[in-house]
Amino acid sequence: MKAAIGIDIGGTNVRVGLVLELGEVIHQSRIEVATHADGELFLNQLIRTVHEFLAFSEDLNVLGIGIGSPGANIEEGIIERASNLPWKRLPIVERLSSVFDLPVFLTNDANLFAIAEKGYGHASQMTDFLAVTLGTGVGGGVYASDQLVTGANGLAGEVGHVIYERNGRACKCGRQGCLERYVSASGVVETAKEYILAKEFPSELYGVPEHLINAQLVADSAKDGDVLAMKVFEDTGRILGEALAGFVAVLNPEAIFLSGGLSNSGDLLLKPARASFSKSLLSIYPNEPVIRTSAIPDNDAGVLGASALVWEYSKKLNESSLTEI
């Protein structure tokens, strides 16, 4: 039975998973970034973990190792300049390749959800789609003509950093007005705090200490009919729909998939987003792209995407070999 090892590198934890070809995660492990801030220490621990996984999977045909990380330099196989990671330059592909007799593939973490959706989700039969994660920030991945769009430096798909409002909210990227500052979980919190300060709408949130206001509280309040909270999601959905319509003008996808914590708010977000999307969409398209939430569990999306990277590139390598023959 075929399997792949998927490594999802995040700012807090690195998740490693052993995944079967149909998307079943049969073994998992986690490495804390904070306790492995030294690059060599982290690589040694990761190598030990992969050894353990290979021992666990001795009856399986492990085809390769897929890695998704912020700051991924795909051409050089290194991780560099990732603002939420402690390693300045990590030659991760070279180190793993030197130890294991397996192909190692690296991509930017923003692509993982799209790769997972293509490999295991509703997009398996699609050639053109956009995948957007609505978490603390906003990430994206693009498939066009059945190919993952990586860009010249592997950094394509940064949809969260399209400017929504000139001179708007400060973003961690150093600019102002980025889309993710408005349609992410943290954006919802910021919008709610602005509305609370303005006191334009009746709300039970006025008595809540500022540090206790989070996206889940705002969503729960909106579901209970809180006027201010409902307005927050109405405006967030409107902005999201407008932005997605703009992406369609460039990409012409068949579908748009949403994932991440904020997408779990359901119709609170999706109803105004879809309405705004339809209103903002160019009239030239014979079929309006469908907006739908992903069926892939948020907690597994990174590992699944990293493992699907192995199937993605293994397929390309096989096709290349057949062409040469």
Query: With 70 as the cut, is the pLDDT of residue 284 above it?
Result: yes
Structural contact between residues 69 and 303, judged by C-beta atoms closer than 8 angstroms = no
pLDDT band at 299 (very low <50, low <70, confident <90, very high): confident
Tens digit of each residue's pLDDT (9 = 90 or more) over 107-133: 988 889 999 999 899 999 999 999 999
Tell me, what's the pLDDT at 323? 37
Tell me, what's the pLDDT at 129? 97
Tens digit of each residue's pLDDT (9 = 90 or more) over 143-202: 999 999 988 877 888 899 999 999 999 998 889 999 999 999 999 999 999 999 999 999
pLDDT band at 317 (very low <50, low <70, confident <90, very high): low
Tens digit of each residue's pLDDT (9 = 90 or more) over 66-93: 999 988 888 899 999 887 789 999 999 9
Residue appearing with tokens 């989070």: 214
- Reference 297, options 101, 17, 75, 64; nearest CA is 17
- Reference 258, options 135, 132, 139; nearest CA is 132
Distance CA(28)–CA(130), nearest Å, equals 28
Tell me, what's the pLDDT at 316? 63
pTM, entire model: 0.86
Structural contact between residues 141 and 113, judged by C-beta atoms closer than 8 angstroms = yes
Structure token pair of residue 112: 């993982």
Query: With 70 as the cut, is the pLDDT of residue 51 above it?
Result: yes
Tell me, what's the pLDDT at 324? 38
The arrangement of strands across the sheet holding 78-80 comes to 72-73, 78-80, 89-90
Distance CA(257)–CA(238), nearest Å, equals 17
Distance CA(158)–CA(138), nearest Å, equals 8
Q: What three-state secondary structure class fits 80? A: strand
Domains along the sequence of the chain with CATH? 2-116+299-324 (3.30.420.40), 122-293 (3.30.420.40)
